[in-house]
Amino acid sequence: MTEMKTSRRALLKTAGGVSFAAALGAPIPFARFLAPGLAPVALAQAVSPAALNKDGLTLLNDRPINMETPPHLLDDAITPATRLFVRNNGLPPAVETVSAENWRLAIDGEVETPLDLTIADLKARFETVTLQLQLECGGNGRKFFKPGASGNQWTFGAVGCPQWTGVRLSDVLDAAGVKPSAIYTAHFGADKHLSGDPERHPLSRGVPITKAMERHNLIAWAINGEAMPALNGHPLRLVIPGWPGSCSQKWLTRINLRDKVHDGAKMSGKSYRMPAYPVAPGTSVPDEDMTIIHSMPVKSLITYPQTGVKKRPSSAFEVRGHAWAGDDDVAAVDVSIDFGATWRSADLDPPDNKFAWQHWRIDVTLPEAGYFEIWARARDSQGRSQPATTPGWNPKGYLNNMQHRIAIFAVL
């Protein structure tokens, strides 16, 4: 890894729950009594996006660390690593314990030949692939549901679409020999539970074998040609595009193939699940009536201009952004400047590859001075469009694909 600034290194050590003495510049005589995951109060001010080389992101939670990206900072066609959101469920492995050279990945369970692979083995035995793949948290947009749901109050910025480099998950599973009895994967990482209990996993999710064998899933070690940030999974992670980001296990150490639906941490109850039928807001839904989230819904984002800017009336300016649609493609993006009364079609680029977001743009002219809003809505290849407001309410605030709106002031 590249050398980090002292503040960033200190914060990453804090996030890993290990020795803080170097960061504080003083010994800690009672360090043995400090509960796992609890940082010295003197380091509290270090918990900031800038200290993590994520300057400009919004910190939603510092235990575990979660950050989202304001839409205008997602304007790049390929999301920079510094702009990629952070979604953690537990405590990342301490930086000092992470060695890409010694990292190991086990493939076991319902396979003919269990594998124990280093990253060097992955590079030597399988084709290296680079793909641009979108990744989105299942709770992106949770903030806007009423009544609200507990959890990180994501708005629009828990999404990104970098280039990932690694090997195809399907190639590795083929090498292990998938047994006919295998129906689901189970993913495990090196992060620790917030309680500090080594027997508990903060997150262990999986996908059906049919999704796992899709050729765009990667076991990745690089982002945009460089080692990925520690908080985004260095040195090895899964990328399962189009499905909730929780399926893309970070700090990946094991993939276990199972003969039943995986029942790991955050696979049961209401975690990453939706009601099997429409419910009224605030309804208590029995766990047995919740279904696992698969493909994410169609969505679009306005990345330029930034909300709240001033423009001259009668002067054209460009509006642009991205759109994506889970397992499907985006068929169209429309834009409105009159609160949805009329819509115009934006120019829409094809994706760089399957599961990459699609870029759109349109020239807009505001007819007179005053306050305007620009609305964007995308339609997917199945004919489904974004709703104007939050879609069907659910207990955990998942899958909000409401239209994105920005404010524009036309000023003479």
Determine the Cα–Cα distance for residues 41 and 155; give it in Å rounded to an integer. 29
Residue 1: CB atoms within 10 A of its CB come to 14
Number of H helices, E strands in the chain: 5, 25
Tell me the residue type at 340: G
- Residue 257 · residue 180 · CB < 8 Å: no
Nearest to 322 by CA among 294, 302, 347, 345: 302
Query: Under CATH, to which class is 97-292 assigned?
Result: alpha beta
| Residue 213 CA: distances (Å) to CA of 165, 184, 263, 361, 393 | 17, 11, 20, 34, 32
Q: Residues in the chain, how many?
A: 412
- Residue 138 · residue 244 · CB < 8 Å: yes
Query: Under CATH, to which class is 299-410 assigned?
Result: mainly beta
Q: Residue 300, class by beta-carbon neighbours within 10 Å (0-12 exposed, 13-18 middle, 19+ buried)?
A: buried
Residues 6+ away with beta carbon under 8 Å from 104: 116, 117, 118, 253
Q: Please indicate whether the domains covering 97-292 and 299-410 agree at the CATH topology level.
A: no
Q: Which tokens is 406 given?
A: 């920005």
The residues spanned by each domain of the chain are 97-292, 299-410
Q: What is the DSSP letter of 334?
A: E
Determine the Cα–Cα distance for residues 264 and 281; give it in Å rounded to an integer. 28
Determine the Cα–Cα distance for residues 270 and 52; give it in Å rounded to an integer. 31
Question: Starting from the edge strand earliest in sequence, which strands make up the sheet with 404-410, in order?
Answer: 309-311, 404-410, 370-380, 330-336, 344-345
Determine if the pTM surpasses 0.75: yes
Going residue by residue through the chain, which has 412 residues, state the pLDDT in tens, using 9 for 90 and above: 343 333 334 444 443 333 355 444 556 677 677 666 555 665 554 567 887 889 999 999 988 999 999 999 999 999 999 999 999 999 999 888 899 999 999 999 999 999 999 999 999 999 999 999 999 999 999 999 999 999 999 999 999 999 999 999 999 999 999 999 999 999 999 999 999 899 999 999 999 999 999 999 999 999 999 999 999 999 999 999 999 999 999 999 999 999 999 999 999 999 999 999 999 999 999 999 999 999 999 999 999 999 999 999 999 999 999 999 999 999 999 999 999 999 999 999 999 999 999 999 999 999 999 999 999 999 999 999 999 999 999 999 999 999 999 999 999 9
Q: What is the DSSP letter of 180?
A: T
Q: Where are the alpha helices (DSSP H) in 98-191?
A: 119-125, 169-176
| Residue 348 CA: distances (Å) to CA of 88, 281, 286, 302, 379 | 33, 35, 42, 13, 11
Among left, alpha and beta (phi > 0; psi -120 to 50; other), residue 402 is beta
Determine the Cα–Cα distance for residues 134 and 245; give it in Å rounded to an integer. 9
SS3 52: helix
Max CA distance (Å), the chain: 71
Whether the link from the prior residue into 387 is cis, omega within 30° of 0, is: no
Determine the Cα–Cα distance for residues 184 and 205; give it in Å rounded to an integer. 10
- Residue 346 · residue 379 · CB < 8 Å: no
- Residue 246 · residue 205 · CB < 8 Å: yes
Residues 6+ away with beta carbon under 8 Å from 186: 109, 204, 205, 206, 255, 256, 257, 258, 262, 264
Residue 260: CB atoms within 10 A of its CB come to 11
